[in-house]
Amino acid sequence: MRQRTHVGVVGPGDGATEEQVQRAREVGRLLALAGAVVVTGGLGGVMAAAARGCGDAGGLSLGLLPGADRADAGAPHTLTVPTGLGELRNGLLVRSSDVVVAVGPSWGTLSEVALAVRTGVPVVLLGWGTLADHLPQDAGVPAPLRAATPQDAVQLALGDRDG
């Protein structure tokens, strides 16, 4: 049975900029239109925006919350897992994702990008500025891809997959 592609959409929470929020919503919408599942960290900012964009297009979303209370979700998700793991849920989000789209940097987001690269999960960076030029270059490890727009990011994330 074909499994839908699960795409982690990560980025700053409450400190997200308006541009990041708009981009994340569009990324979520485009992923849903392509038939992919949107996986988020379940809180605000980029996470909530991606879930809303996914919902706009009638897609499926999964929110992996750091706390133990489902009611803490920053936006409606199809299903939620109140992990109670705190920031260790970042690693669980990476495991749950076939590919990760990171909309803008933050320390928490950087931990997810680093864990994804470390464990072989492809990463697409959207709006990472100069940090993207100075990331580690471990031998034999594919570097993150860079996207210029939400459309570009989704295309890079899904490649030839249709979701």
Which residues within the stretch 109-138 sit at the binding site for a copy of itself (CB under 8 A)?
109-111, 114-115, 117-119, 130-131, 133-136, 138
> Smallest Cα–Cα separation from 12: which of 150, 90, 109, 86?
109
Output 100 or 151, the one with its CB closest to a copy of itself. Answer: 100
Please choose, out of 25-33, 45-53, 95-103, 145-153, the segment that lies near a copy of itself by the rule CB under 8 A.
95-103
Q: List residues bridging with 99 in a β-sheet.
A: 7
Joined together, the tokens standing for residue 137 give 């270059």
6 binds a copy of itself (CB under 8 A): yes
Q: Which residue, chain included where needed, has tokens 């490890």? A: 141
Residue 126, helix vs strand vs coil: strand
Region binding a copy of itself by CB under 8 A among candidate stretches 16-24, 28-36, 40-48, 59-67:
59-67
Structure tokens at 24: 């994340």
* Relative orientation angle of helices 46-56 and 18-33, to the nearest 10 degrees: 40
**Distance between CA atoms of residues 101 and 79, nearest Å:** 20
Alpha helix stretches (DSSP H) within the chain: 18-33, 46-56, 89-96, 107-118, 150-158
Closest to a copy of itself by CB, 34 or 60: 60
Which one of 26-34, 40-48, 104-112, 154-162 is the stretch in contact with a copy of itself (CB under 8 A)?
104-112
Binding site for a copy of itself (CB under 8 A): 1, 3-4, 6, 12, 15, 37, 60, 62, 64, 68, 70-71, 73, 76, 78-88, 90-92, 95-96, 98, 105-111, 114-115, 117-119, 130-131, 133-136, 138-139, 141
